[in-house]
Amino acid sequence: MKPMTQITIRANSLKRPSALKRTLRPLLADLKAKALDYHPYNEDQLLELLIGALRGEECGRKSKKDYILAQRDIKDWFEKRVKPGTLEISHENAEMYYLLTFALAAALQMYMGGTRMTATEFSRREKRRPLLQVVADIFTGKIGEVATQLLARRYGYEVQPDWDLSPERAQYRSDLTRIRRIDDGRIYNIPWTISVKSSASLTGAWAEAPVGANVALFWKVALPEDFLFRLLQYISSWTKLVCFLDKRVKKAPPFNEFLKKMNNIKPELIIPCYFVGFYEPSEKTLRKKGQDLPYLGEVRETKHMCPIGRLRWKPQDFQGLLAQIYREASAGAGGHHGRT
């Protein structure tokens, strides 16, 4: 059989990711046979990212209502955009534990009413969510800020995420609060409102930002569903729990099987974070509450939404953004904040 090198995708099929993955899988398999290395993503994750790229016109070519996708399009998109823009955050990064600590503390305070932060800042909430789900939502929502911190270091800058949980915090404030050059100890308050959003939905086509944001950064995160269990396993809490239960649970089935499964959780955790890009919110990107957007549906609150294919993502663009933020901060607009 002749290898598949190009396909035509009907626009309606983009609404059915599961079926589309079956269509795209042979194309990806042939690319893998030609030595396309899509580490650190697995095949399903890459297919979902590809569907999101098609939806957002980030990859492929649009022909009337159809999309033309060639193997060369996929290869170029992955090697020139996704791979260079991907950071891996692992259980060995100290930032992972800052984030876990914040997520646990924030979830606890939400339920105790000790912060103005609400779970709706991290997830769509029609009903009160279980505590563990809230922790996962906060972790997912904030990991983009940590990824931005790591990406900024590549270009010689240190940025500080917003870790404030005080009751007096504004409902919407900049997700990045301070900036400094790594070769200079002076640190400055950031005078802009910077929105950093991260999504575990790899098929998403829109980058959102709250009203009032000066610049919006967007990440896609290939987050394992069992990431909390893996982290607990790595820091030994999970191991202690399994040992505790093992001493108190009868060895008869099915509980001995349950314990075996709990003991087999992999402690290692590597989270690929893909920097899709950034944009400057304007009237053109503002979407009103109740408006319908392709592949998203109804907008639940007025906010900025930009198709991912229109984001700025090149290294020189991001480096220029950091330089501009630093210039304005160090000029005094944000105020000098001493030395680190």
Share in percent of the chain as helix, strand, coil (round to 5)? 40, 20, 35
Asked whether the predicted pLDDT for residue 329 surpasses 90, the reply is yes
Q: Is the pLDDT of residue 338 over 70?
A: no
Q: What is the pLDDT of residues 287-312, one digit of tens each?
A: 999 999 999 999 999 999 999 999 99
Region 65-78 average pLDDT? 90
Rounded average pLDDT over 265-279: 88
Among candidate residues 57, 65, 54, the one with its CA nearest the CA of residue 28? 54
One-letter amino acid at 205 equals A
User: Which residue would you say has higher pLDDT here, 31 or 76?
Assistant: 76
Higher-pLDDT residue of 166 and 15 is 15
Q: What is the pLDDT of residues 102-143, one digit of tens each?
A: 988 888 887 776 555 544 444 444 445 677 788 888 999 999
Find how far residue 310's CA is from the centre of its chain.
18
DSSP secondary structure code for residue 306 in this structure: E
Q: Which residues make Cβ contacts (< 8 Å) with residue 128, sequence separation at least 6?
A: none
User: Which residues lie below 8 Å from residue 127, measured CB to CB, with a gap of 6+?
Assistant: none
Q: Among the residues of the chain, which ranges form H helices?
A: 17-33, 43-55, 71-77, 94-112, 131-154, 227-234, 237-248, 255-263, 315-328
- Sign, CA dihedral 209-174-275-105, equals negative
Domain ranges of the chain: 6-83, 87-223+269-339, 227-263
pLDDT value at residue 121: 47
Is 135 or 160 the better-scoring residue by pLDDT? 160
Q: Which residue reads 């990107």 in tokens?
A: 285
Percent of the chain with pLDDT over 70: 88
Q: Is the pLDDT reported for residue 42 higher than 60?
A: yes
What is the reported pTM?
0.84
Q: Collect all residues with Cβ–Cβ distance below 8 Å to 41 and sequence separation of at least 6.
A: 49, 86, 222, 272
Record the tokens describing residue 121, joined without a space: 């800042």
User: Where does the pLDDT of residue 334 fall: very low under 50, low under 70, confident under 90, or very high at 90 and above?
Assistant: very low
pLDDT recorded at residue 126: 44
Higher pLDDT, 130 or 187: 187
